[in-house]
Amino acid sequence: MNAILLRAKIPLTEADVVVSAGRGMKDPGNWGMIEELADLIGATTACSRPVADIGWRPHHEHVGQTGIAIRPSLYIAIGISGAIQHLAGVNNSKRIIVINKDPEAPFFKAADYGICGDLFEIVPRLNEAIKEFKASN
């Protein structure tokens, strides 16, 4: 019989590292790269409210004014604009990294580190770089 390995995720409210994504992902089928990044760095996944509202992600992942308020050491926001209602739930994070293709995205003002560019290029490259780093360390 094959053993099934289930790795329990740390609940969002207790997570030290959170990888979150929004409508910039375009399609729920694109979340594999987000899950992969989260797995690589031991993070819990989150999302913006519209993404949960349209059923791309479960509602228990929705952070913000009307969702869960979190205060991780690191919050990585991918394809999320940074609306005030979203920031209300995440702006107590110790460090915020934003990946967004729009240099005017409000989230950059709240970010400690920002990467301006296409998430569909950046996130796969980031995942490969982390895998290479792990393999050589």
Regarding 80 and contact with ligand FAD (CB under 6 A), the answer is yes
Q: Which of 10, 17, 39, 101 binds ligand FAD (CB under 6 A)?
A: 101
Contact between 69 and ligand FAD by CB under 6 A: the answer reads no
Residue 104 DSSP symbol: T
Assess contact for 49 and 85: CB atoms under 8 A: yes
Q: 85-93: long-range contacts at Cβ-Cβ below 8 A with a sequence spacing of 24 or more?
A: 85/49, 86/22, 86/48, 86/49, 88/64, 89/63, 89/64, 89/65, 90/18, 90/20, 90/63, 90/64, 93/18
Tokens of 46: 């989150």
Question: What string marks each residue from 2 to 31 as x (binds ligand FAD by CB under 6 A) or -?
Answer: --------------------xxx-------
Which of 16, 35, 102, 132 binds ligand FAD (CB under 6 A)? It is 102
Q: CB under 6 A: which stretch of 5-13, 30-38, 115-123, 128-136 binds ligand FAD?
A: 115-123
Q: Is 57 in the site for ligand FAD (CB under 6 A)?
A: no
Query: Looking at beta carbons only, is 43 or 108 nearer to ligand FAD?
Result: 108
Per DSSP (E only), the strands in the chain are: 17-21, 44-47, 74-78, 95-100, 113-116
Q: Please say which residue, 74 or 81, places its beta carbon nearer to ligand FAD.
A: 81
Tokens 């519209």: give the residue: 50
Residue 87 tokens read as 């920031």
Where does this chain bind ligand FAD (CB under 6 A)?
Answer: 22-24, 48-51, 64-67, 79-81, 83, 85-86, 89, 100-102, 105, 118-120
